[in-house]
Amino acid sequence: MTSRTKKRTSPQKKSAAGSPVETRKVPEATRCILWGQAGGRCEFPGCNKLLLEHSVTSKVVNFADVAHVVGFREHGPRGKGKRPAAIHALENLMLMSPDCHKLIDDNPDDFTREMLADFKREHEKRIRHLTGLGPDMGTTIVQLKGLIAAHTTDIPVSHVYEAVSPRWPTTRQGHVIDLGAINIDGEAGAKLATEHIDAEVMNLYRPGMDADKTLHISLFALAPMPVLMHLGSRLSNKIPVDFFQRHRDTKSTPWKWRNDGPPVGFVVKTLQEGTVRGKVALVLSLSGSIARESLPPTIDAQFTIYEMTLDGITPNVDFLRNADTLELFRKDYRRLLADLEKIHGQYDELHVFPAVPSPIAVVLGHDLLSKVHPDLLAYDNDRAAGGFKFRLRIIRK
């Protein structure tokens, strides 16, 4: 049941016994607060219609209905059951277009009290977030979805909004690179994935596209390590990129960076001194430890093998909890590349064996410098085959 903003009735009536009877008129102060919380827009999901102007003439007119979550009358839509002490309480009111209002009142079984309360909460939460942002805080959302254990993962929009705050996505869907139809196992599948990524990234950076306007990218990526490394190598250094990590210990905001501890540091060890100066391998034991015997036999005595691991703690899947840890890794990784050049000269390729979180895999490719750093030969841990197998050559362009 409703109270329409254009409808005027007497503020109070009396029953035959002389006691006050609730009227449909919503107090003006409550109405004003509701308008502010709703941003002047319909709170029905997917509508979001601006209720202050005519859709054709743009003439400023009040088209809003003030709808009740719990019906105004007990016998009306959503009126039965426990009722609020004040029917016009702010938490029981929603701003709606007349069409959406009629839809919910004519179909009370489809739109329950609980559902409408969720609509109201999510809409007003979004309005509060968007109106609290400063200028130049837009971002282009990029999602890479690849098959991991035969499954792809969809990221709810609400999780994206929570993660990128105080920035705001300029489009709800963003730019999705979907590799779900590609079996990435093996070199052939990995090559198909890189071709698809190359085409999508080229489109992402085209003049006039969203990234060209926001000049900022927020990346959410889940795929096998070599594919993530390739994606990183294709992302431009000219537009800043924020990388996000999926956390396993929470369901409410799994992609939001944590601030519950100091950043984790990294150390580099030499596992083997090689006999050939230009043959170099890098083992990244971050999310888990990599055993020497899991490396392919081609990484023989000629290779110098380095290991980067966590400083003072055992490698584990939950170490990357804050963005500061990611930045520390990037500094140490770039420093390591510079040190390797001093030790091994102008070597052409670095064999990389990663056990790392997704953002770090992307950074491995992204922080390469074209014509400065060696190509990365990316391996993937194929447990069915009993160790790491070569997948991709990563060349920074």
CA distance 319 to 265: 10
Domain with CATH 3.40.50 in the chain: 138-243
User: What residue type is assigned to position 13 of the chain?
Assistant: K
DSSP state of 282: E
What pLDDT is stored for residue 8 in this prediction?
41
pTM over the 0.85 mark: no
Q: Residues for the chain: how many in total?
A: 397
Pairing of strands 375-382, 349-355: parallel
What pLDDT is stored for residue 397 in this prediction?
76
| Residues 6 or more apart in contact with residue 361 via CB below 8 angstroms | 225, 228, 229, 232, 354
What pLDDT is stored for residue 382 in this prediction?
87
What pLDDT is stored for residue 343 in this prediction?
96
What pLDDT is stored for residue 4 in this prediction?
45
Strand spans (E) along the chain? 2-4, 13-14, 20-21, 65-68, 93-96, 138-145, 168-169, 175-178, 217-222, 241-243, 266-272, 280-285, 304-310, 349-355, 375-382, 387-394
Terminal CA-CA length for the chain: 61
What pLDDT is stored for residue 135 in this prediction?
59
Please return the burial class of 326, using the count of CB atoms within 10 Å of its CB with bins 0-12, 13-18 and 19+. Answer: buried
CA distance 35 to 14: 29
Strand spans (E) along 22-152? 65-68, 93-96, 138-145
- Beta carbons of 93 and 71 less than 8 angstroms apart: no
Residues paired with residue 4 on neighbouring β-strands, in sequence order: 65
Please return the burial class of 286, using the count of CB atoms within 10 Å of its CB with bins 0-12, 13-18 and 19+. Answer: buried
- Beta carbons of 248 and 317 less than 8 angstroms apart: yes
User: What residue type is assigned to position 97 of the chain?
Assistant: S
CB atoms within 10 A of CB 234: 20
| Residues 6 or more apart in contact with residue 371 via CB below 8 angstroms | none
Closest CA to 69 of 23, 105, 28, 33: 105
CATH number of 138-243: 3.40.50
What pLDDT is stored for residue 134 in this prediction?
61
What pLDDT is stored for residue 142 in this prediction?
96
Integer-rounded Cα radius of gyration of the chain: 28
What pLDDT is stored for residue 115 in this prediction?
92
Pairing of strands 20-21, 13-14: antiparallel
pLDDT in tens, the chain (397 residues): 444 444 444 444 444 444 444 678 899 999 999 999 999 999 999 899 999 988 788 789 899 999 999 988 888 889 888 888 889 999 999 999 999 999 999 998 899 999 999 999 999 998 887 777 665 788 999 999 886 655 667 788 888 988 998 888 988 778 999 998 888 877 888 999 999 999 999 999 999 999 998 999 999 999 999 999 999 999 999 999 999 999 987 777 899 999 888 999 999 999 999 999 999 999 999 999 999 999 999 999 999 999 999 999 999 999 999 999 999 999 999 999 999 999 999 899 999 999 999 999 999 999 999 889 999 999 999 887 788 999 999 998 7
Q: Cis ω on the peptide bond leading into residue 226 (within 30° of 0)?
A: no
- Beta carbons of 307 and 269 less than 8 angstroms apart: yes
| Residues 6 or more apart in contact with residue 260 via CB below 8 angstroms | 321, 322
Residue 169: HSE in the Cβ half-sphere, 13 Å Cα cutoff: 20
Residue 278: HSE in the Cβ half-sphere, 13 Å Cα cutoff: 7
DSSP state of 87: T
Give the dihedral of Cα atoms 57, 62, 68, 71; nearest 10 deg: -90
